Structure 1
Amino acid sequence: MADTHTRYGHTEKDIAQDFAEHLKYSQDADLYHTTDQNRYTALALAIRDRIIHQWGKSRKTQRTQNARRVYYLSLEFLMGRAMTNNIINLGLEDETRQALSSLGYAYEELADQEPDAGLGNGGLGRLAACFLDSLATLQIPAYGYGIRYNYGIFRQQIKGGWQVEQPDNWLRDGNPWELPRPDIVYPVQFGGEVRAIREAGKDIYRWIGTETVNGMAYDMPIVGYGGNTINTLRLWSAKAANEFNFSEFNDGDYTEAVRSRIQAETLSQVLYPNDTRYLGKELRLKQQYFFVACSLRDIINRFKRQGASWDTFPSFAAIQMNDTHPSLAVAELMRILVDLEGIEWDAAWEITQAALGYTNHTLMPEALEKWTVPMFQSLLPRHMQIVYEINYRFLQKAVSFFPMRPDLIGKVSIIEESNPKQVRMANLAIVGSHSTNGVAELHSQLLKSDMFPEFNIIFPERFNNKTNGITQRRWLLAANPALASLITAAIGDRWIRDFSRISDLAPFAEDAGFRDRFDAIKKQAKIHAASFLASDCGATINPDTLFDVQIKRIHEYKRQLLNALNILAIYVRLKDDPQFRASFQPTTFLFGGKAAPGYVNAKLIIKFINNIATVIQSDSQVSPLLSVLFMPNYRVTMAESIIPAANISEQISLAGTEASGTGNMKFMCNGALTIGTMDGANVEIAAEAGRDNIFIFGHTEEEITSLKATYSPREWVDKNPLTRHVVELLDSGYINVNEPAIFAPLRRSLFEEGDRYMLFADMGSYVETHDKVRTLYAENRTEWNRKAILNIAASGKFSSDRTIMEYAQDIWNAKPCPVELDDSGDTILKDAGNPVRSSGGKKKK
């Protein structure tokens, strides 16, 4: 035992000992009282011990070097499971597996006990998680800031074909990766009123009579690859300022005694409450201010410990707003600087703009957040005053760009003159920051030309592009270890840190032996995916079929409905055309994604897909060739099993509607071929892989713009016999027998409401492209695999490491702060010393 370093050693023996001690002393587990959940928690605590050891080293190094930190504010962090990612990044995968094996356990059995962290929903949150991984791997000091939701968005079940939302109680068994910080608590105010007091010749504003909620910090470590730098994801949990009213309890009013605690904790109870009602909207606004207020107070407290002057704040902190959710940071930072720190408005404004950056994630005007002025005024009266002042000063400058053009001034105003008036949060974010970036080349161009052309005239230097990326360590190294090993055997392992090196794989596309090994790995991935789905949702799929996959948030613009209509077209031809049936490549269509609880049409699309699946499954003539599965409760863990198995990646949004997409990148680096429109990052994927190695269909963004003025969905249906046949089948009620008119809202959106996302304009091209895809897969597997390998080799641009390096250089001016690995325990006893006695009676900060 003398040679073991139980808490921080990296040997098999050290990890086994730490696991055993945690199982006994942290879990009180013995022969009669232990579960796989206990064992998972003990293992997580053992791995966390090694993380904490280096986490402290990272913080100390960054403080000593006075490094500029990046603060990434995001309402979502879709982290997935932590265990495997952490042991891979620490370089402890083999040692951990061997340690467990020596005690009679299989690693996978324990790792599978971990729930997906319910901190995000779609691409926005997964992007944030990839960014945190890259920041730590690149050794750039950073904090992620968000909310510690007690419940995720929801756990999706499918009953009778319908989405049913169940609570996602991901914290039911605790979270061994987090550390509560009861010493880091900030009060957050809501409501009340503002009083102006005249002091020393100027107005001082006091926000009084407010409701107060406390925000308590919970920290999760973010381990960079190699284990040198460990950054922090700090999440805020809402706590009541006064948790228990003892006098009301004594009076017998037990409900009222705890009402304040229940109301306060609602703020961090659930991700994205249903905002179709006023109370839901109010809760979302309160959530956004809550996490922004706590985060800025935390950043500023850290800054003030340095004793530096306020004009150096932008060189201390680079604060990035991930979409408009954190855009209240503009008004809140101004409130802190002007009201609490006494800084003059112009100087405070200069600090605010220099410190803040804004990432836009949408090309859809209705997706840009707006809050009604009455609600904003009621919840945040001082911020409403500040927003009006910001807007007034900004419009005084803007008018010089657009003289005699009140219509254009109205477009750039932060206040929309509607009834009721609304606060445009995107406008606030653009005006209040020094950088506005899009997330793909096409998206960034359209931001300047279509979405915010007036702002581009006023602030041309602020608009820039940062094409999204994904971390190859999670989505290739961890999710597809067999393929990762094949790649490393061919080109070495430098691609793990520098994904541009993946281009070295291109020559192997011409190597028959390599192609065969790739094909075998894909087949095994399909078998694994089938096993996962059988266990996860009881579904049976055939791994010998072509896997065509569309997994993403359910939304009309993402056009899952177009995919479903194409499946109906295939079904029609399989029924009517014996020659088509005889040559058809057996195919499994896999769908996954959640619809917002209040989004009626999105939920109907799920029902539509499931009804089609039922019709096909019941048809003995068609079902051996064609199957459809909507995979319930899509999440990171599911994606890690399904993406490596995919042959086809469906990226089919209407050109000009998808900002970027990152699922397309995950599929690409795992050797799936993309069928997609020239939208979002598909444009850059086509450029990198070559148009010959990607299946592009449909109208371009420019063609869509020209077509909109005269577009008639009925005309497009009538001129294509197959499309017309599909619509007739839909109208006949064939797929909704005994459920009359349930799909009427979808039909109305396609015809009476004008087919906004132009499914019928692109459907003919989509059907033809699918025919080409299946023919190539069925008749020339050698060429298919060659294209797949070339796609992997061309995916280097789409690493989040590249994206983060561009942010760091162009927006944040942030540099790496190298941290040495600490493999000793020399300071453990010293760090445990009484800070008061060791500092002569003064507590160390």
Structure 2
Amino acid sequence: MSTGTVTNPRTGMDVDAFREDIKQHLHYTLAKDQYSLTEWDSYQSVVLAVMDRLHDRWIDTQQRYYNEKSKRVYYLSMEYLIGRLLDNMLINLGVQDVAAEAIEELGFDYDKIRAAEVDAGLGNGGLGRLAACFLDSMATLGVPAIGYGIRYDYGIFDQDIKDGWQIEKPDQWLQYGYPWGVARPLKKKYTVQFYGDTTATKDSSGRLHFDWTNTHNVNALAYDTPVPGFQNGIVNNLRLWKATSDEGFDLKSFNQGDYINAVRNNMLEENISRVLYPNDKVFKGQELRLKQEYFLVSASLQDAMSRFKKQFDDFRKIPDQMAIQCNDTHPNLAIPEFMRMLMDQEGLEWEPAWDIVTETISYTNHTLMPEALEKWPLSLMSNLLPRHTQIIREIDRRFLQSIEVESDKSSQSDKKDRMRIISNEMNARVRMGRLGIVGAKKVNGVSELHSNLMKKTIFKDFAQEYPDKFTNVTNGITPRRWLRQCNRKLADLISDRIGDDWVTHLSQLKQVEQFADDPEFKESFEQIKLENKQKLADYIKKTEGVTVDPHSIFDIQIKRIHEYKRQLMAVFHMITLYNRLKENPNADIEPRTLLFAGKAAPGYTMAKLHIKLISNVAEMINNDPEVADTLRLLFLPNYSVTLAEKMIPAADLSEQISTAGMEASGTGNMKFALNGALTIGTLDGANIEIREQVGPENIFIFGLTVDEIEEIRQNGYDPEKICEADKELKKVIDQIHKGYFSPEQPDLFHPITNALLKEKDYFMVLGDYRAYVDKQGEVEQVFKDKDEWFRRAIVNTANMGHFSSDRSIQDYCERIWDVEV
């Protein structure tokens, strides 16, 4: 409550100070009064008041890192899916309730203030969300870190669904500015070079020196966003680069009436940070994408080296002062770029430069699919980055020379061909994953299964050559956002029983397991879940006009739309239930609401057809009065962090049903389980570790294993035979193929059925269908017994401590970065 005594409104942490600061920003910063202000103005004024409380901590943190000569972690990622920041900032500052009261005293609606914020359009999905969680954990643990990324003008596209089809619209997240970002226009601007020529000259001592000349230059302008730790006074930094022109305005063309050419160079250069690529993990060569990756790497390394050189002049100290982490293959150009900087700009010879690079840079791999590992055409690389191409060729040459020689010359040749960084073919390509391995200090996978498979499959030869380079760091999620923020009532219930230290020590949730059979706790847990389901039901009614029953099973699959994630199998199950009810209206089927959300990459035709199938099936089921009380199916458009924060706390059942061996880790599985959902899933990614933590009796595991899939493929997989042998499956396939769900265009879904039957069902949808349907039957039986269901749900929440991103970052610090926490 208000005290009547106003402390410094810019720094005070009480209600009065917050209220006065908001009022001052409305009047003096935004020039608004009660007659002219909008919800955006109100939101901005609140953000500015929060930023006032961050600035002292931000400056003090950076100064302390400098004074203590702290080793810095530089995290390079093309994506950061940070979502809305207001709640997160207030929670980490410890003043969410204070700020909410101040806002209410001003006559504003706190929920409307929060809703005015847009999700920052900086990521596609799991990769970017993971990076955001890691930033939060690094700040919370006090790791001296900077996240580097690109400030995309247009982020991941806005998704609309029209007539069942995905429609992409521009994501104009910067339309009204971004009050969390602070521009650094003078001090933090670096020149990034492209194209040009390389020339070699010898200096007076005979040393060969390379110059990169006649380049096309672009400026990288820094925008900083504060990243506060949880109530520890530490504020780290997310630095995003915006591309700006180095050439300025062509006045001559303008005076001749040619305005387009007058600004043409500016426009082309600024395109580098214009659009976030909607990557669907299948790489397609695009010059602009390569430009973006080098732009990120060059600006970030220049910034890191500038910081290093302010305090040190001995480059041998770089590995002791810098740890550079490449999040996926995208930033792996850091390896040749760092070599170029050390040799061409700082005068080091190859060997000492290589020692520094390979003790400083590490690489996180996120995929086992060879087609998803970047392979840049050598011709494109040579044109865009001629000096880097020379360096990569030399890295490749020296690496191939270093490979252990085998007695059999043909075996030696085969091994070298398998391991080349630059492929030995007519249209040679630079394999960025291999470059990352050869040039990295450490290479890590993101779950135990993924890391083991990485060493057995795609990087088998490298793991044999460099056994000590490979390690595992299982992904994690921040409990601040994914429980404390998105599910406040459950967080408070837990804190009432075990205290609130779990927010930074998630392993303490284990204490909650003792309440799994406590009737009072279980009743409260169930009531909170029901309230979360009702909130989501209200949202669905408001946005989609469809009524769903909050007492039904909320069965949810939210992730990128991709064949390997098998949204198809979940909709097949729903069709099966529908068919059972149509054949027998009295069938014993537990009411179920199946919800999908996720985006398909604009060029991924099959994924978009899957959305269309889901939508058409939903149209039929939701409008059939014979099943209306039992089944509901919806595809919720424009999936985002904010939508996830509504769906995850409401879920009863978490769908984690990827083809075994194809999901590196997953983090959605962790978020669902933390919020009391039970998982139905394959033995893939982090599902395996979740099963180890919660116990096999508290998770619904089904389907073929990695080894079984490999054996089946070797012996011959016959999806048509599987289909013919399963009456329910055959009916589903026939309905889809014959146009039951697309009567106006009966052949609409033939590409789906052909992929399953004629093209051998690569993702084993039919192979796992029966096991999945049977396991869903088990889900129904357990759900009927609410006492047992919520006992298992509580056990899941209690055993998610291992999956905190705090633990992930501690593992990085110990196994890779050599940073004390």
Whether 1:247 aligns to 2:252 is yes
**2: CA distance between counterparts of 1:579 and 1:412?**
61
Shift of 1:545: 1.5
**2: CA distance between counterparts of 1:402 and 1:558?**
44
Change in 2 beyond 3 A, CA 1:2/1:643:
closer
Shift of 1:400: 2.5
Change in 2 beyond 3 A, CA 1:402/1:77:
farther
| 1:210-235, Cα deviation, whole Å (9 max, x unpaired) | 11111100000001000411000000
Whether 1:144 aligns to 2:147 is yes
TM-score by length of 2: 0.97
**2: CA distance between counterparts of 1:770 and 1:241?**
59
Shift of 1:308: 2.9
Among 595, 599, 607, the residue aligned to 2:604: 599
Shift of 1:399: 4.3
Kindly provide the amino acid, as one letter, of the partner of residue 171 in structure 1.
L
Name which of structure 1's ranges 322-331 and 221-230 shifts more when overlaid on structure 2: 221-230
5+ residue gaps, structure 1, are 817-845
Shift of 1:18: 0.5
Correspondences of 1:48-87 after superposition (within 5 Å): 48-87=51-90
**1: CA distance between counterparts of 2:543 and 2:585?**
36
Match of 2:630 in 1: 625
Shift of 1:270: 0.9
Correspondences of 1:729-748 after superposition (within 5 Å): 729-748=735-754
**1: CA distance between counterparts of 2:244 and 2:546?**
42
Match of 1:195 in 2: 199
Match of 2:189 in 1: 185
Match of 1:718 in 2: 724
Change in 2 beyond 3 A, CA 1:416/1:402:
farther
SS of residue in 2 equivalent to 1:238: strand
Whether 1:380 aligns to 2:385 is yes
Shift of 1:562: 1.0
Kindly provide the amino acid, as one letter, of the partner of residue 497 in structure 1.
T
Kindly provide the amino acid, as one letter, of the partner of residue 570 in structure 1.
L
Match of 2:12 in 1: 9
SS of residue in 1 equivalent to 2:516: helix
Kindly provide the amino acid, as one letter, of the partner of residue 226 in structure 1.
Q
Shift of 1:278: 12
SS of residue in 2 equivalent to 1:510: coil
8 A Cα contact 1:401 1:458, kept in partner: no
Match of 2:416 in 1: 409
Name which of structure 1's ranges 267-276 and 234-243 shifts more when overlaid on structure 2: 267-276
Kindly provide the amino acid, as one letter, of the partner of residue 528 in structure 2.
I
Match of 1:674 in 2: 679
Match of 1:24 in 2: 27
Match of 2:342 in 1: 337
**1: CA distance between counterparts of 2:360 and 2:195?**
27
SS of residue in 2 equivalent to 1:451: coil
Kindly provide the amino acid, as one letter, of the partner of residue 714 in structure 1.
E
Match of 1:508 in 2: 515
**2: CA distance between counterparts of 1:243 and 1:278?**
34
Kindly provide the amino acid, as one letter, of the partner of residue 692 in structure 1.
E
Correspondences of 1:383-394 after superposition (within 5 Å): 383-394=388-399
Match of 1:168 in 2: 171
**1: CA distance between counterparts of 2:781 and 2:280?**
45
Kindly provide the amino acid, as one letter, of the partner of residue 429 in structure 1.
G
Kindly provide the amino acid, as one letter, of the partner of residue 177 in structure 2.
G
Match of 1:842 in 2: none
Whether 1:792 aligns to 2:797 is yes
Change in 2 beyond 3 A, CA 1:276/1:400:
closer
Kindly provide the amino acid, as one letter, of the partner of residue 30 in structure 1.
D
8 A Cα contact 1:658 1:680, kept in partner: yes
Shift of 1:542: 2.4
**2: CA distance between counterparts of 1:587 and 1:74?**
39
Among 516, 525, 534, the residue aligned to 1:518: 525
Whether 1:323 aligns to 2:348 is no
**2: CA distance between counterparts of 1:725 and 1:608?**
16
Among 425, 431, 435, the residue aligned to 1:418: 425
Among 210, 215, 219, the residue aligned to 1:210: 215
8 A Cα contact 1:177 1:221, kept in partner: yes
| 1:306-345, Cα deviation, whole Å (9 max, x unpaired) | 1330000011110000000000000100110111111000
5+ residue gaps, structure 2, are none
SS of residue in 2 equivalent to 1:415: coil
| 1:51-90, Cα deviation, whole Å (9 max, x unpaired) | 1111011011111111101110000000000000000000
8 A Cα contact 1:193 1:207, kept in partner: yes
SS of residue in 2 equivalent to 1:206: strand
Shift of 1:275: 9.8
Shift of 1:401: 6.0
Change in 2 beyond 3 A, CA 1:271/1:402:
farther
Shift of 1:578: 3.7
Change in 2 beyond 3 A, CA 1:332/1:316:
same
**1: CA distance between counterparts of 2:299 and 2:408?**
41
Match of 1:822 in 2: none
8 A Cα contact 1:651 1:675, kept in partner: yes
Kindly provide the amino acid, as one letter, of the partner of residue 435 in structure 1.
K
8 A Cα contact 2:361 2:439, kept in partner: yes
8 A Cα contact 1:589 1:627, kept in partner: yes
Match of 2:502 in 1: 495
| 1:406-437, Cα deviation, whole Å (9 max, x unpaired) | 22211111011234111000000000011000
Change in 2 beyond 3 A, CA 1:402/1:584:
farther
Match of 2:293 in 1: 288
Shift of 1:32: 2.6
Match of 1:220 in 2: 225
SS of residue in 2 equivalent to 1:674: strand
SS of residue in 2 equivalent to 1:331: helix
Whether 1:443 aligns to 2:447 is no
**2: CA distance between counterparts of 1:280 and 1:220?**
31
Kindly provide the amino acid, as one letter, of the partner of residue 39 in structure 1.
S
Shift of 1:541: 2.6
Among 625, 644, 647, the residue aligned to 2:652: 647
| 1:577-628, Cα deviation, whole Å (9 max, x unpaired) | 3442xx2111100001001111111111111110110111222112321111
**2: CA distance between counterparts of 1:402 and 1:87?**
64
8 A Cα contact 1:487 1:505, kept in partner: yes
Shift of 1:765: 0.3
Kindly provide the amino acid, as one letter, of the partner of residue 246 in structure 1.
L
SS of residue in 2 equivalent to 1:25: helix
Change in 2 beyond 3 A, CA 1:2/1:770:
closer
Match of 1:590 in 2: 595
Name which of structure 1's ranges 742-751 and 379-388 shifts more when overlaid on structure 2: 742-751
8 A Cα contact 1:402 1:409, kept in partner: no
Match of 1:833 in 2: none
Kindly provide the amino acid, as one letter, of the partner of residue 230 in structure 2.
Y
8 A Cα contact 1:654 1:679, kept in partner: yes
Change in 2 beyond 3 A, CA 1:539/1:268:
farther
Kindly provide the amino acid, as one letter, of the partner of residue 247 in structure 1.
K
Change in 2 beyond 3 A, CA 1:262/1:537:
farther
Among 116, 124, 128, the residue aligned to 1:125: 128
**1: CA distance between counterparts of 2:280 and 2:574?**
33
Change in 2 beyond 3 A, CA 1:647/1:465:
same
8 A Cα contact 1:275 1:281, kept in partner: no
8 A Cα contact 2:738 2:747, kept in partner: no
Shift of 1:176: 0.6
SS of residue in 1 equivalent to 2:253: helix
